[in-house]
Amino acid sequence: MAQRISLTRYLVEQQRVDGLIPSQLRLLLEVVARACKGISQAVNKGALGGVLGTAGSENVQGEVQKKLDIIANEVLIEANEWGGHLAAMASEEMDGIYLVPNRYPQGEYLLLFDPLDGSSNIDVNVSIGTIFSVLKKPEGHPGVTEDDFLQPGSKQVAAGYCVYGPQTTLVLTVGDGVAMFTLDREQGSFVLIEENVRIPEDTKEFAINMSNMRHWDAPVKRYIDECLAGTEGPRGKDFNMRWIASMVADVHRIMTRGGIFMYPWDKREPNKPGKLRLMYEANPMGWLVEQAGGAATNGRQRILDIQPTQLHERVSVILGSKNEVERVTGYHSGI
């Protein structure tokens, strides 16, 4: 049997051999992975662990919180606050930033996460996940403010997600391609299953919530209409559709076999740029997809170039196989 490479060993090699990551970042990523293991255990227990259902509260965006949203958020905070790698955290489930208490050593990184993405799938036993993004705390002033988090996605130093599906798989980039690790439950460790993940540049599979079709903008409607026209249409080929309603699971499929994922702006709430969050979802996923050879835009601009103005900012998202993303983006500028 081929030698098994654990996440720990992979990260040590990234640090020691390739000099790609400082030790503080390596240790931080180990802690995030450990927290994902804890969340995976809670997800696996489901009703037996009393973790299903709503918590009876709302998050800052007015969305009803599930018990697992709150549990996952707490697991990530508790695992990360005392390690000395972080200065502060921000989460989709918290109103403001969380400063590492001053009884613990302070680190130089900022961690952002969507603790449990795809919440509507929790109670129906469909894949869900955790998404995370790491930024460097800007230098030159003591303490941390919300403004310190408002950095474009191109400044990320690490990003990843952990999908809780039939397998628990952690997918990571530190800017040197994308690696995947599956949790070996008996050993309790993440084991490398693929390095240099590549997304095919072309695809015949799209992911979009079709029930919103009547609200879409013309370029998105044009793209999907052309896909639906199949072999007789301008694309000259038949397309397949998938929509899991967990961004993590949809992106994981694209990482595995290609495809395009879209959650575009639509006319339901014209003043809202999109449903998904820039800092917790679009930036980390956008970077992972780019690192695997794909592309990510909001229809007009590369996601990673967007200068955020708010922690919980929303954005239109089009990501996946490069040629398809470029096509939809081109339709937005009238090409």
* Closer CB to ligand AHM, 44 or 209, in the complex: 209
Is 116 known to sit in a ligand binding site?
A: yes
* Closer CB to ligand AHM, 15 or 130, in the complex: 130
* Closer CB to ligand AHM, 58 or 176, in the complex: 58
Is 117 known to sit in a ligand binding site?
A: yes
Of residues 75 through 114, those in contact with Mg ion by CB under 5 A are 114
| Pairs from 325-331 (Cβ < 8 Å, separation ≥ 24) | 325/260, 325/294, 325/295, 325/296, 325/297, 326/295, 327/223, 328/219, 328/220, 328/223, 328/260, 328/262, 328/297, 328/299, 329/295, 329/297, 329/299, 329/300, 331/219, 331/220, 331/222, 331/223
DSSP 214: G
Q: Compute the least distance from the CB of residue 209 to ligand AHM, in Å.
A: 4
* Closer CB to ligand AHM, 31 or 122, in the complex: 122
- Asked whether the CA dihedral 264, 269, 275, 277 is positive or negative, the reply is positive
Is 313 known to sit in a ligand binding site?
A: no
Strand-pair category, 178-184 with 86-91: unpaired
63 interface partner picked from Mg ion, ligand AHM, none, CB below 5 to 8 A per type = ligand AHM
Concatenating the DSSP letter of every residue in 101-154 gives PTTS---SEEEEEEEEE-GGGGGGT--EEEEEEEEEPPSSSSS--HHHH---GG
* Closer CB to Mg ion, 107 or 286, in the complex: 286
Strand partners, 189: 184
Q: Compute the least distance from the CB of residue 245 to ligand AHM, in Å.
A: 4
The footprint of ligand AHM (CB under 6 A) covers: 63, 92, 114, 117-120, 209, 245-247, 263
Q: Compute the least distance from the CB of residue 215 to ligand AHM, in Å.
A: 11
Is 13 known to sit in a ligand binding site?
A: no
CB 332 within 8 A of CB 326: no
Is 119 known to sit in a ligand binding site?
A: yes
127 interface partner picked from ligand AHM, Mg ion, none, CB below 5 to 8 A per type = none
Q: Report how far residue 262's alpha carbon sits from residue 299's, in angstroms, rounded to the nearest whole number.
A: 10
Binding status of residue 324 toward Mg ion by CB under 5 A? no
Is 266 known to sit in a ligand binding site?
A: no
Strand-pair category, 295-297 with 317-320: antiparallel
* Closer CB to Mg ion, 117 or 148, in the complex: 117
Is 334 known to sit in a ligand binding site?
A: no
Q: Report how far residue 131's alpha carbon sits from residue 118's, in angstroms, rounded to the nearest whole number.
A: 11
In angstroms, the first-to-last Cα distance of the chain is 51
246 interface partner picked from ligand AHM, Mg ion, none, CB below 5 to 8 A per type = ligand AHM
**Interacting residue with Mg ion among 30, 81, 93, 117 (CB under 5 A):** 117
* Closer CB to ligand AHM, 10 or 223, in the complex: 223
263 interface partner picked from Mg ion, ligand AHM, none, CB below 5 to 8 A per type = ligand AHM
Q: Report how far residue 196's alpha carbon sits from residue 177's, in angstroms, rounded to the nearest whole number.
A: 5
Is 281 known to sit in a ligand binding site?
A: yes
Residues placed in the known binding site: 92, 114, 116-120, 209, 275, 281
Which residues contact Mg ion by CB under 5 A?
114, 117
Residues placed in the known binding site for substrate: 117-120, 209, 275
